[in-house]
A = this chain, B = another copy of it.
Amino acid sequence: MVTIKQVAQRAGVSFKTVSRVVNNDPTVKPENREKILAAIEELGYQPNIAARMIRKKNSDVIGFISDEISTTPSSVDIIRGAQDMAWEKGKTLMVFNLNQKDANPAQLFDECTQHRAEGVIYGAMYHQPVKLPDSFQKLPTVMVNCFDPEQKYPAIVPDDEQAAYYVTRQLLAKGYRRIAFLNLNPDIVAAQLRLSGFKQALNEHGIADDNYIVKTIEQVEGDEVKDVTREMTLDVLENFKPDAILCGKDLVAVRVYFVLESLKIKVGEDIGVASFDNWDVIPDILIPGLSTMSLPYYEMGRRAVQKVIEASENKNEQSGEPEKITCLLASRASF
């Protein structure tokens, strides 16, 4: 690798002058600057980040520890968002996955400190409470798509309540009056928040209790969690006769579509279907396209990086309530 001294020699100046040019110090004679830039170009010089790092005290590295996040197709967008923002801010994102064999959060955190990361982001696969090892206290830490139950760390989460509220209002605005909500397992944070948002919208609109219904698409039998979307959908269609179905996630909507197809009930005409996720190509593969609330993963990733940079600069780590990111409706033709 070519060093700053080699460039200096080639340009016929001291290596300090080269350093000045590299760091955009204006106090260099234009003539020399030219020569030096030429030498840099010629030799293909690139500053050694490691060497720079030990001298200046900042590494410009942000660690990203993910709880299997990159396995979950949509939440990969958290990483994309984080990477884009890091790039814009001149930082390097170092991504570590929890899935690797026998790696625990504390180990990966150590990996981050070894690289002298200036801050760490911990991202989860789905919106959930997470208890981080105490070691995370040593670095500015931001949680994304998850949160500390004791609010020890700032957190970024999707606004699931707003999402349900919004989509329900949209359904009502389009004239749907008997909505069946096929919700996720009630143990899940998102399911609870969405139920709340759903009910609030109905209340504000004066919808009576017997004009909506909420069902769970997962049944727990001992240790087994069984998906009962198909049965639930048939049940609800027969006994409740909804004019719209709100699905807990896009994959639930896929199964609902199948049931409706088999009954020759036309989505978007005979019945409205809405959902949560906007998961990759799924909403587009369905016919008609599925109108669904986007989980704002990309935006969450961006915010997380912003926040961790702020925290590392100001040192005023204001945790408290998680920051909720608004969900938008990806509108297609299903309602």
Give chain A's interface residues, CB within 8 Å of chain B: 1, 44, 46-51, 53-54, 59, 70-71, 73-74, 76-77, 79-80, 83-84, 87-88, 92-97, 99-101, 103, 110-111, 113-116, 138, 230, 251, 254-255, 257-258, 261-262, 264, 280-281, 285, 287
Contacts and interface: CB of A to CB of B under 8 A. Distances in A.
B71 A80 contact: yes
Given A46-B114, A261-B262, A262-B264, 7 more contacts: A46-B113, A50-B116, A73-B76, A73-B280, A84-B97, A84-B100, A87-B100
21 contacts: A46-B114, A48-B54, A48-B116, A50-B51, A50-B54, A50-B59, A54-B54, A71-B77, A71-B80, A73-B73, A73-B74, A73-B76, A83-B97, A84-B100, A87-B100, A87-B103, A88-B101, A230-B287, A254-B254, A258-B258, A261-B262
A50 B53 contact: yes
A281 B94 CA distance: 28
Contacts of A255: 285, 287
A258 B280 contact: no
Contacts of A99: 80, 84
Nearest to A70: B76
A87 B101 contact: yes
Contact of A92 (B47, B94, B101, B264): B94
Contacts of A280: 73
Contacts of A254: 254, 285
Contacts of A115: 49-50, 92
A138 B1 CA distance: 11
Contacts of A88: 101
Complex A-B, nearest 4 residue pairs according to Cβ-Cβ distance, in ascending order: A73-B73, A50-B50, A50-B53, A87-B100
A269 B103 CA distance: 44
Contacts of A96: 83
A258 B111 CA distance: 48
